[in-house]
Amino acid sequence: MTQPLQLAERITSLKPSATVEMTERVRAARASGRKIIGLSSGDPNIDTDPRIIAAAERAMHDGDTHYGPAAGMPALREAIVAREARLSGAAYDPADIIVTPGGKFALLTALMAVVEPGDEVLVPAPGWVSYGPCVRLCGGTPVLFDMLDRIDSDRLQAAITPRTKAIIINSPVNPTGSVVPEEELRIVAEMAERHNLWIIFDQVYADLLHHGTFPYLQGIDGLRARTFVVDSMSKTFGMTGWRLGYLATPPGTAKAVLKLIQHSIYCVPGFVQAAGLAALGLYDEIVPAYRTTFQRRLVRAAARLNEIDGIVCEVPPATFYLFPSVDADDGAVARAWLEAIDVAVLPGSSFGEAGAGHLRLSVTCSDADLEEALSRIARTGLPKAA
């Protein structure tokens, strides 16, 4: 008798993404007629600028519907080099840039490039839900390091073993909206140099900095040689569904890494890249207004949340996320708000145990929906402990 067919352990052992699951739940509830207000999604309510859409249309009509260069369109890679020089000061060559279908695939590509089965990768906690699963997909083991308040040198050192191969740093941080300050990046740099680690720096929220300064790891002397930079058009330009991002690779590694792209996706569609090129060209015209909108909403929502007993909410310096602490079980609060008042938020613990006792709220819905959600939350407050 033949054995029942088995799916591979690398797939069956993965936990579903908490953020994607919540989005699906909200979608299903809406389809059944409930008016759920979503404060759970990392998808900003920005319609892609019509000029960006027109650029994609033009490219399609002009015949850009074939396979293209695996690393991406030369003009887009040059624009990314210019972007990096402006943001981080790092001087990349277009040959170091690989265009990817979103930041998530850039992350997976970087991990596939450096992780051997059995390697450990340091993953921030609380941190984005896909880091651990992507490490596992590459045969590695994610090892969480706590950075709720700050990156602490002793705590980081304690997480390092002879099997540690790489460290993932995300700034501005999803879910807290904080920015990792330069002195903490220097701790990471020193640790990476001492233990010869690769660094994967996820800067997908870099354009959503509201105040203060934003240091880049690849901008620190000597670090480019060990740092893969993950970036994306998704959050900055309201282009989540276009699936467009990039990986800036350490000098001399792109040619090898590119083989993964050649043998998997081959290339990002040319017309999507044409849209990305148009988006980068419109940056100064459109991005500051998006930033202003998110910042205004963050300030307003934090003020209203702080009026509620048991909730303490700081206004973060970046992103469109709030990460208030709640004097209750975070999972129970998220469930209660979804069931009782049709407001979807994420429990902080879905970003790792270090996030327990917090909620993540995204201010990515309309102003009117945000006001309505905040009024419902204010009326209901936190559920009483059973």
Ligand X SMILES: Cc1ncc(COP(=O)(O)O)c(C=O)c1O
> For the chain, what is the radius of gyration of the CA atoms?
21
Rounded distance, CA 348 to CA 357, Å?
7
Residue 170 or 295 with smaller CB distance to ligand X: 170
Strands, sheet with 198-202, edge to edge from the N-terminal-most edge strand: 97-100, 245-248, 227-232, 198-202, 164-170, 120-125, 141-146
DSSP 217: G
Q: 24 Cβ partners below 8 Å, 6+ apart?
A: none
Task: Retrieve residue 385's tokens.
Answer: 């402990």
Between 97 and 336, CB nearer to ligand X: 97
Least Å distance, CB 200 to ligand X, is 10
Q: Which is nearer to ligand X, 257 or 328 (CB)?
A: 257
Could you give the count of Cα atoms lying within 13 Å of 308 in the half-sphere of its Cβ?
24
Nearest-approach distance from CB 236 to ligand X, in angstroms: 10
> 174 vs 178, which CB is nearer to ligand X?
174
202 or 207: CB nearest ligand X: 202
Q: Is the dihedral of CA 218, 178, 41, 238 positive or negative?
A: negative
Closer CB to ligand X, 100 or 311, in the complex: 100
Chain-centre distance for alpha carbon 264: 22
- Smallest distance, ligand X to C-beta of residue 33, A: 28
End-to-end CA distance of the chain: 52
Binding site residues, ligand X, CB under 6 A: 42, 102-104, 128, 170, 174, 202, 204, 232, 234, 240, 245
The DSSP result for 66-129, as a single string, is S---TT--HHHHHHHHHHHHHHT-----GGGEEEESSHHHHHHHHHHHHPPTT-EEEEEES--T
Nearer to ligand X (CB atom), residue 105 or residue 271: 105
Minimum CB distance to ligand X, residue 174 (Å)? 4
Q: State the nearest-atom distance from the C-beta of 267 to ligand X, in Å.
A: 17
Please give the Cα distance from 263 to 151 (Å, whole number). 37
CB of 157: closest distance to ligand X in angstroms?
Answer: 24
Provide, rounded to whole angstroms, the least separation between the CB of residue 129 and ligand X: 8
